[in-house]
Amino acid sequence: MRSISWKTLFGVGLVVALVVAGGCHREKVKEDAGTLAPQAELGTAISSLVELVKPTPVKVEGYGLVGGLAGTGSSYCPAQLRAYLKQYILTQLPTERADIDTLLNSKNTAVVYLEASVPPTPSLGERFDVRVSLISGSEAISLRGGWLYNADLVVQGTFGVDTKPLATAAGSLFIGSIAADADSRSGYVLAGGQTLYEYAGILRASRSNYRATSEVRNRLCDRYGQNVARAVSAREVEVQIPPEYRRRKQRFLAMVPVTYLETTPEFVNARINAFVYQLAGGQDRETAEVALEAVGRECLGKLSVLLKTSDPDVRMRAARCMLALGDDRAFPVLREMATDAKSPLRMQALDAIMVSAKRNDAVALARRLLRDADKAVVMAAYEHLCEVEDPAVKREVVGRSFELEQVIQTDRRAIYVSRSGDPRVVLFGAPLECTNNIFVESPDQSIVVNARPEEVAVSLTRKHPTRSGIMGPIQSDFDIASLVRALGTEATATSKGQLRGLGASYEQVIAILEQMSAKGVTDAEFWAGPLPEIGLPVKK
């Protein structure tokens, strides 16, 4: 093992002392940063023995069948693809008798091509968006209102080969617009993909060396937990992301290469001094911050001095690192930044608190920030409260295709609709109400929401999706949540023969809400999330 001289340690310690002293001393160190770079021997970094194979999104594809098209589908299906679909459908219905050819030949179905991008570090069962489009040669007119039956997704370019699927896909189609000129021959299944595997990182050596891979495995297990790593060959080590890093996967993967093998006090102190200096001096602060977290709680004492530095970026990074290591002294620093409307670092500080702070502290801050003037901050606070299932967000399923959420503890009055990820309508400032003088029609003229000034209820009607005639009217009060329920609830009858809902699709519901906001029926803002970035964009 290499040793470190006392002169080197003393020199690095002196530099750190100058850096954290603050005031003119700190400014002097910043000016001389190039000449004061640490020269200490820090030990053997894992990156010097193995290289992390960079995780990237995996493009996947497949073929499937969309049903429920009400005569707008196509029987077109090439023979080879028909054989595949028939075999696949039989595996999905092993105990049922089905005339698959009749199903494929129906104008109520269409064969489609599926494409998606699996996240780079997925957890088992993680959801993602899937793009759906008609196959070349299909005579189908529209996929609107359709439902994708369960389908397998394989690595792009391997369809037809006996390869193991990486994910499955199923769910209702979302075109992106119900305007008359919208291209309805393609669309998305929002959050319709589901991964079938758990990500594992690969550390690869340039040549076979059982001793090196064993040392890497042992060190990672010692630092991050038993069974985090295993040597799968003389060249490769497989790494699992520990449970405590499931919300910070990329940070964990960044820490692995800058984890060092040697753990003697001399080496550990040298690393702490060197990386605290690097963080304070402004030279590649990101690497320094990651390396300090990889060192562990031993760095907290010297790192805490940077909480008082005048540089807000250094202060934020030091606090973020400390909070990630379980030191609550960093929380007030990050909270001050997160609540400062003028701070350019507030989103970074907020993110750090949301993933690393104690639940009660994070929830209290998130609830407070629901009242913020910045929309991005409000959305970040809301997303965190959803993730921890805080009662500040009331959630219910409407129909079978989307969720309705109501956020009460906020001064913002807004209707947010997602267009990627889980389909959801979110009412900020609930309960939201509309005026008592309403006439709103969906862009395709299939749904009408109407109430005259003297009426005490809202009337809703819908053109029947599969035959001539009108569904409804059904009644709702003026609460927007009630209107959403009435629109989206399945069109089943009560014991008295009355409709429970109109069975409108998620797409139709959000189109009505957009029209209501545009016409001033409600004073709530309308916020629409972005469309998925998969393949060619759907025409807006």
Per-residue pLDDT tens digits for 258-312: 999 999 999 999 999 999 999 998 779 999 999 999 999 999 999 999 999 999 9
Establish if 536 belongs to a structural domain: no
Residue-level pLDDT at 94: 60
307 vs 316: CA distance, rounded Å = 8
Q: How confident is the model at residue 538 (pLDDT cuts 50, 70, 90)?
A: very low
Please determine, for residue 7, whether its predicted confidence score (pLDDT) is greater than 60: no
Whether 441 and 523 map to the same domain: the answer is yes
Of the chain, the percentage scoring pLDDT greater than 70 comes to: 90
513 vs 504: CA distance, rounded Å = 12
At residue 10's C-alpha, the angle toward residues 7 and 11, to 5°, is: 85
Structure tokens at 499: 């409709």
Whether 415 and 455 map to the same domain: the answer is yes
Other CB atoms within 10 A of residue 34 CB: 8
Whether 224 and 343 map to the same domain: the answer is no
Q: What is the domain range of residue 331?
A: 6-43+262-387
What kind and span of H or E run contains 178? none
Helix (DSSP H) and strand (DSSP E) numbers for the chain: 16, 19
Domains contained in the chain, number: 4
Q: How confident is the model at residue 36 (pLDDT cuts 50, 70, 90)?
A: very low
Contact 302, 276 (CB under 8 A): yes
- CA proximity to 222, closest of 262, 187, 175, 282: 262
Say if strands 414-417 and 424-428 run parallel, antiparallel, or are unpaired: antiparallel
Say if strands 424-428 and 402-407 run parallel, antiparallel, or are unpaired: parallel
Residue-level pLDDT at 282: 76
Of the residues 340, 372, 387, which one is the last residue of a structural domain? 387
Whether 74 and 170 map to the same domain: the answer is yes
Please determine, for residue 523, whether its predicted confidence score (pLDDT) is greater than 70: yes
Residue-level pLDDT at 29: 36
Sequence letter at residue 527: W
- Give the HSE-up count for residue 409: Cα atoms under 13 Å, Cβ half-sphere: 16
Whether 174 and 64 map to the same domain: the answer is yes
Establish if 534 belongs to a structural domain: no
Q: Quote the DSSP letter at residue 330.
A: G
Structure tokens at 276: 């605290």
Whether 429 and 465 map to the same domain: the answer is yes
Is the pTM higher than 0.85? yes
Residue-level pLDDT at 41: 86
Q: What is the sign, positive or negative, of the torsion defined by CA atoms of 214, 216, 217, 222?
A: positive
> What DSSP assignment string belongs to 209-236?
-HHHHHHHHHHHHHHH-TTSEEE-SSSE
Of the chain, the percentage scoring pLDDT greater than 90 comes to: 78
Residue-level pLDDT at 181: 63
Of the residues 195, 216, 244, which one is the last residue of a structural domain? 195
Whether 114 and 78 map to the same domain: the answer is yes
13-22, 355-364, 366-375: range with lowest mean pLDDT: 13-22
Q: Quote the DSSP letter at residue 174.
A: B
175 vs 407: CA distance, rounded Å = 27
Structure tokens at 497: 């023969």
Residues 65-90: tens digit of each pLDDT: 999 998 999 999 999 999 999 989 88
Whether 373 and 412 map to the same domain: the answer is no
2-11, 48-57, 120-129, 152-161: range with lowest mean pLDDT: 2-11
Alpha helices, DSSP H only, in 197-311? 210-224, 249-255, 265-281, 285-295, 300-304
Please determine, for residue 539, whether its predicted confidence score (pLDDT) is greater than 80: no
Residue in the block written with tokens 């629109």: 487
Omega into 473 within 30° of 0, i.e. cis?
Answer: yes
Residue-level pLDDT at 6: 38
494 vs 325: CA distance, rounded Å = 56
φ, ψ (nearest 5 deg) of residue 165:
-65, 145
Q: How confident is the model at residue 91 (pLDDT cuts 50, 70, 90)?
A: confident
Please determine, for residue 360, whether its predicted confidence score (pLDDT) is greater than 50: yes
Whether 370 and 326 map to the same domain: the answer is yes
Q: How confident is the model at residue 411 (pLDDT cuts 50, 70, 90)?
A: confident
Other CB atoms within 10 A of residue 147 CB: 19
8-22, 88-102, 503-517: range with lowest mean pLDDT: 8-22
Residue-level pLDDT at 37: 37
Q: At 379, which CATH number?
A: 1.25.10
Whether 462 and 493 map to the same domain: the answer is yes
Establish if 314 belongs to a structural domain: yes
Whether 416 and 519 map to the same domain: the answer is yes
Establish if 223 belongs to a structural domain: yes
315-319, 494-498, 523-527: range with lowest mean pLDDT: 494-498
Q: How confident is the model at residue 467 (pLDDT cuts 50, 70, 90)?
A: confident
Burial class (CB in 10 A: 0-12, 13-18, 19+), 82: middle
Establish if 537 belongs to a structural domain: no
Q: How confident is the model at residue 22 (pLDDT cuts 50, 70, 90)?
A: very low
Residue-level pLDDT at 8: 42
Establish if 473 belongs to a structural domain: yes
Residues 205-223: tens digit of each pLDDT: 999 999 999 999 999 999 9
Contact 343, 374 (CB under 8 A): no
Question: How far apart, in Å, are the Cα atoms of 314 and each of 35, 39, 230?
Answer: 20, 22, 36
Scored b (16 or more CB within 10 A) or e, 468-480 reads eeebbbbebebbb
Of the residues 162, 195, 228, which one is the last residue of a structural domain? 195
Q: How confident is the model at residue 253 (pLDDT cuts 50, 70, 90)?
A: very high
Residue-level pLDDT at 199: 96
Contact 112, 69 (CB under 8 A): no
Average pLDDT score over residue span 362-374: 96
What kind and span of H or E run contains 416? strand 414-417
Average pLDDT score over residue span 107-114: 96
Structure tokens at 30: 């910043």
Structure tokens at 149: 């039956």
Tell me what the pLDDT averaged over the chain comes to: 89
Establish if 353 belongs to a structural domain: yes
Q: What is the rounded (10 degree) CA torsion for 460, 465, 469, 470? A: 0
Residue-level pLDDT at 537: 37
Please determine, for residue 440, whether its predicted confidence score (pLDDT) is greater than 70: yes
Please determine, for residue 40, whether its predicted confidence score (pLDDT) is greater than 50: no
Strand partners, 132: 114, 187
Establish if 325 belongs to a structural domain: yes
Whether 399 and 519 map to the same domain: the answer is yes
